[in-house]
Amino acid sequence: MENKKALIELKNISKSYDDELVVKNVDLTIYENEFLTLLGPSGCGKTTILRMIAGFIKPEEGEIIINAKVFNDLPPYARPIHTVFQKYALFPHLNVIDNVAFGLNNRTWNYLENFYGKAKIESEIKELSKHKPISVKKAIKNLIYKDSLQALKLVKLEGFISRKVDQLSGGQQQRVALARALVNKPQILLLDEPLAALDLKLRQNMQYELKEMQRNLGITFLFVTHDQEEAMTMSDRIVVMKEGVIQQLGSPKSIYNEPINRYVANFIGETNIIKGTYIKKDLVNFLDVDFKCMGYKFAEGEKVDVVIRPEDFDVVDLEKAKLVGEVVFSLFKGVHNEYEVKVGMEKLLVHTYESYEVGQPIGLTIDPYEIHMMKVDDSEQGV
């Protein structure tokens, strides 16, 4: 990440509504060509951050820096940023192609001449003038039409150009909204829970398509969602937020495997959080058993929270097991089985391919590198 160019920098941003601080001193750097997701439950301030970057609201404190310029006071229309809104916000009085071309159609000629560049306009004039001479304006209009068609092709809606938007399905409206933003060639595309209204199958398809598009177009995507699976699938980096504060920032893998606190661990997928004691380097005790661990450093004898993902348990014969428990609940999940295993007073969630009956004893071990530890923080109550 270090050698990448920073596109957006948020420096110490704060915002409150009715005296309630919804974004608290947020620092965040977004790089070129990355897919960054703001993840958190509703009311955690993620949409507020998005709207501040888009320019709909102003931060009370801090700076929004885009391309090394302070953007705090610039209105939305002067920013190289476009948004895909949660409910699409398509214009009902225009058809599909007019919706897509809306942004460019309403720009000044000066803007459009810069947007397309002299060379492209001239070659367009040359091409069209074979039959009859045309003006610069007409050439530009033609370019806009071509680009809009291209954008619709990109979202696989080229057959719908003259449809009214209210005759489209939710998924199709979503695609039009995407094309409408992309045709303006933004440096940054903001997506405000754009998939929330789609059904599961459609949502999964769109996830792959969005990721694909972001890779091919080389645009920075800033995605807002409360769905951790969605965030995992698409993002290069994820920002987990809670009550206006960034909890953790990192790749999906690092956030999943090494959550920084209980809140993140619970929010990102199912997990086991067990109270333990750090005995000495590479040795931790939990559930009254000493385990080898690696890569963590705490004070000797310090209380820690141990995080073990359900799929990280190894199910073994009883004599080889470090932990022996009793299956108290089982669920067939298709690929794997999900068991609740009672070890001492603690109930553990275990995923395995082996099959066990409820009431059967089960032996578990954990590899040292699968044991993750977090500092105990009394204020963290989990989700």
Partner 1 sequence: MNKEFRVLSRPYMVWLSVLVFFPILAMIFIGFSNLDSSVSIGEISLSFSHLNILTQSSTIIAFRNSLIFALATTFICFIFGYFIAYEIKLSKFKNKFVLLTLVILPMWSNLILRTESLANIMSENNILKSLLGFNIFGNIAGTWMAVLFGLVFTYMPFMILSVYTALEKIDFALEEAALDLGLTPLKKFWKVVFPLSLKGVVTGSIMVFLPTLAGFAIPKILSRGQIVFIGNIIDNKFIYTNYNHGALLAVVILIFILGSILLITKFDKEGETLL
Please report, as ranges, the residues that interact with partner 1 according to CB under 8 A: 54-56, 75-77, 81-83, 85, 87, 89-93, 102-103, 106-107, 111, 180-181, 184
- Tokens 């980096």 -> residue: 237
Least spacing, CB of residue 82 vs partner 1, in Å: 6
Least spacing, CB of residue 48 vs partner 1, in Å: 14
CB nearer to partner 1: pick between 77 and 332: 77
Tokens of 194: 């754009």
CB nearer to partner 1: pick between 102 and 145: 102
CB nearer to partner 1: pick between 55 and 259: 55
**Which residues, in sequence order, are bridge partners of residue 83?**
190
Least spacing, CB of residue 51 vs partner 1, in Å: 9
Angle at alpha carbon of residue 220, lines to 217 and 221, rounded to 5°: 100
Least spacing, CB of residue 147 vs partner 1, in Å: 14
CB nearer to partner 1: pick between 56 and 109: 56
Least spacing, CB of residue 324 vs partner 1, in Å: 57
CB nearer to partner 1: pick between 90 and 264: 90
Report helix, strand or coil for 215: helix
Least spacing, CB of residue 40 vs partner 1, in Å: 21
**119 backbone φψ class: left, alpha, beta (φ>0; ψ -120 to 50):** alpha
Angle between helices 170-182 and 96-105 (to 10 degrees): 20
Rounded Cα distance between 229 and 101, Å, is 33
Least spacing, CB of residue 50 vs partner 1, in Å: 11
The values of phi and psi at residue 225, to 5°, are: -155, 160
CB nearer to partner 1: pick between 184 and 228: 184
Buried-state track 277-286, b at ≥16 Cβ within 10 A, e below 16:
bbbeeeebeb
Could you tell me whether strands 237-242 and 35-39 are parallel, antiparallel, or unpaired per DSSP bridges?
parallel
- Evaluate whether 115 touches 101 at the Cβ level (below 8 Å): no
The values of phi and psi at residue 204, to 5°, are: -65, -40
CB nearer to partner 1: pick between 83 and 271: 83
